[in-house]
Chains A and B, each alone.
Chain A
Amino acid sequence: MKKLAACTWLCAIAVAAFALFQIKHEVKRLEEALTREHRAVVANQEAIHVLKAEWSYLNRPGRIAELAERHLALQPITVEQIVRFDALPLRVAPVPESEGDNAPLDPELEAILASMRKRQ
């Protein structure tokens, strides 16, 4: 009976020791992983930081204006180009098919087109 008890205890100790050993190594491994991750996070944060500064630098308004002038066929918007929604003319009624492209346009639309041609 006593031998059995001693045996059980010994086994328990062995199992506990093994488990402890295992856990210790697992923790160590996890800690190393955590440190690695931390380093990666800090490195990435630094990279993001530098990239943000670079982004701000590349977005200098003067540079953007120059690039837009060189590469885009766009110009700053003028007041005449801004129209309120309710100032728009009503939609033109559908034109009968037979007349095709030669159909006379709505006079209001015609006026707008004429003014646009003039501006060009």
Chain B
Amino acid sequence: MSEDQHITAQTPPRSVADQLPAPQRRFSLDGTIKLALETGRTRLLVTALVFAAAFLVVGARLVEISLFQDALEPRLAQRTIGGGLETGRADIVDRNGVILATTMPAASLYANPRQIDDPQAVARRLARILPEIAPEALAARLGLDRSFVWLKRKISPRQQYEVNRLGIPGLYFQRERERVYPHGALTSHVVGYTNVDNQGLAGMEQAYDELLRSGIAPLQLSLDLSIQHILSEELAAAMAEFRAIGATGLVLDADSGEVVAMSSLPSFAPENVGSASADARFNRASLGIYEMGSVFKIFTTAMALEEGVVGLEDGYDVSKPIRVARFTINDYKPKKRWLSIPEIFIYSSNIGTVHMAMEAGTSAQQSFLAGLGLTGTPRYELPEIGQPLKPSPWREINTMTISYGHGLAVSPIQLASAVAAVVNGGQLKPVTLLKRTEGQPVEGHRVMSPETSRKMSWLMRLVVRHGTGRKADATGYMVGGKTGTADKLRGRGYARNARIASFVAAFPMDRPRYVIFAMVDEPKGTKETHGYATGGWVAAPVVRRVVERIAPLLGVRPRPPDEEEGAEALLIPVNFKGTMFAAQ
């Protein structure tokens, strides 16, 4: 208002009112002029306020953007650097970080047939670069009345270059991701494979499909690639030597339950699953179930000792075969005399083992085997898991045959994990294919006393030292184990000439750290083995060579022979060939 007055006062005199004194001047401004002035002023004021508000908003927004949203830029800067490369599917690595599966960029070739004038000529020229597709098929696809056809998914960089060099209009590339397995067939049964759209279809690729697709951090397996290689190589050598149809092997950490190596032969190339046979894709170590034969005597003997039905000084007369109903149970190499329990185990006597099982009883056997996880389906990461085949009903005759490994079929992974429980102090540890944190003890559940476990360890050592497993004795590493030879089921009976030769071992036996299992499927005897194709001749040497090669890698120190003997002599009294040779 005061400003107004000021303006009014400054207005030069123009009318009658100008000559009048001040009060009259004010009065004279009443009327239309004042009204017009007031209106104009109000409008100006409103406009100014609106503009001021607008500028204030702009200013506030400016301040907000420049000061309070600064988080945007660091995010932009760190996005690619901090998190690692986004590939759409995380890597799979072994326990030492070696890449077993990774995702790589790849180009896929497609065409727009509407832009192609001469499909025949284009097909002819393309066929030279893509020899795996027939020119006729290419021409048919290029002749379609569509605007998009795939010609070949995931071509090599070289092929991409060649196609580009042709300079044919209407051919395009789509950037895609391709799963690559640098170690191919060596780890294919564990790692698995994916389809063309990178979805896991088998192995760990399937088991951890979601995790692999959502994350960047690699999935670390418990496998050790070098040990996997050694195991596969030795199994392949045995397979070739004995003209076998397959082989499988496992190396298991007895304390943590980690699978350090898992091999199933024949194997397949994961990039080329389509052309692999069903037999090659079959994971014998996990999906295959087999009657394991004498290897099961480990469990029968452990059960008899644990139940207290026999002691190490006891024994049985094994001179007569056992006749039950229409069956006759005999020994492979009969010893016509009384054998002590260690001798029964060392010589792998069926008759003696059956006596032990019968004395313990069917229900004791059932619960003991169930405790070792041999009658239930094992639970671990792989989707390919074999379900054990057990007798139903479980009669007395089944108890007898199962005591020496016939009539109950289990997968090698189950067997190895049960043997680990027998030798590691009596605790069944959950098997895993994922790396565990080092130094962290793994919770297990007790299946037998440490005392029984210790006795079993030394009985297994004696098998290798004096019994059927002598060919597995890797000097200095105190290998202990048990042979197994089982006839394969053919139809309703057993095949005489098709068998499974296996050997399960642990080392070093004074404190077992690793369990090794080797199995050869349908080996044929050779001149060197005098026609034998038993576990002791076929699988035991594999175990010896594997132990000799992997022990230095696993950090197991060899001992000079004298020290080995000294440690052994401390152990169990053994009635061997009528004399006590390892008195306490």
Contact = CB atoms under 8 A, between A and B. Distances in A.
A50 B474 CA distance: 41
Contacts of A45: 80, 84-85
A57 B80 CA distance: 26
A79 interface: yes
Given A45-B84, A79-B475, A79-B548, A53 B104 contact: yes
Nearest to B94: A56
A62 B234 CA distance: 12
A87 B85 contact: no
A68 to B, nearest CB: 12
A62 B475 contact: no
Nearest to A50: B104
Contacts of A34: 76-77
Given A45-B80, A87-B560, A53 B549 contact: no
B303 to A, nearest CB: 35
A35 to B, nearest CB: 9
A8 interface: no
Contacts of B84: 45
A52 B99 contact: yes
B102 A61 contact: no
Contacts of B105: 46
A60 B476 contact: no
B80 A38 contact: yes
Interface residue SS majority, chain B: mixed
B77 A60 contact: no
Given A42-B80, A60-B183, A60-B186, A79 B99 contact: no
A77 interface: yes
Interface in A39-73: 41-42, 45-46, 48-50, 52-57, 59-62, 65
Contacts of B182: 53-54, 56-57, 60
B106 to A, nearest CB: 11
Contacts of A55: 99
A82 interface: yes
Contacts of A42: 80, 85
B107 to A, nearest CB: 14
A56 B98 contact: yes
Nearest to B549: A76
A41 B81 contact: yes
Interface string A8-29: 0000000000000000000000
B198 to A, nearest CB: 15
Contacts of A77: 552
Given A34-B77, A61-B225, A61-B229, A46 B549 contact: no
Contacts of B320: none
B226 interface: yes
A67 B476 CA distance: 29
Contacts of A41: 80-81
A49 B186 CA distance: 21
A89 to B, nearest CB: 14
B361 interface: no
Given A45-B80, A82-B557, A56 B183 contact: yes
Contact of B558 (A38, A60, A65, A82): A82
Contacts of B476: 79, 82
Nearest to B551: A79
Contacts of A57: 182-183
A99 B87 CA distance: 72
A9 to B, nearest CB: 15
B233 A56 contact: no
B217 interface: no
Q: Which of A34, A38, A54, A56 has the most CB of B within 10 A?
A: A56
B442 interface: no
Contacts of A50: 104
Given A38-B80, A79-B558, A49 B552 contact: no
Q: Which of B80, B474, B476, B549 has the most CB of A within 10 A?
A: B80
A78 to B, nearest CB: 8
A57 B87 CA distance: 19
Contacts of B548: 78-79
Interface in B329-377: none
A39 to B, nearest CB: 9
Contacts of B81: 41
Contacts of B560: 84, 87
Contacts of B558: 79, 82
A85 B324 CA distance: 59
A45 B182 CA distance: 19
Contacts of A76: 549
A84 B99 CA distance: 35
B207 interface: no
Q: Which of B475, B549, B560 has the most CB of A within 10 A?
A: B560
B99 A53 contact: yes
Contacts of A60: 182-183, 186
B397 interface: no
Q: Which 10 residue pairs across A and B have the least CB separation, nearest first?
A: A61-B229, A57-B182, A56-B99, A79-B476, A56-B182, A45-B85, A79-B558, A53-B102, A79-B475, A41-B80
Interface of A: 34, 38, 41-42, 45-46, 48-50, 52-57, 59-62, 65, 76-79, 82, 84, 87
10 contacts: A45-B84, A46-B85, A49-B104, A50-B104, A52-B99, A56-B98, A57-B183, A60-B182, A60-B186, A61-B226
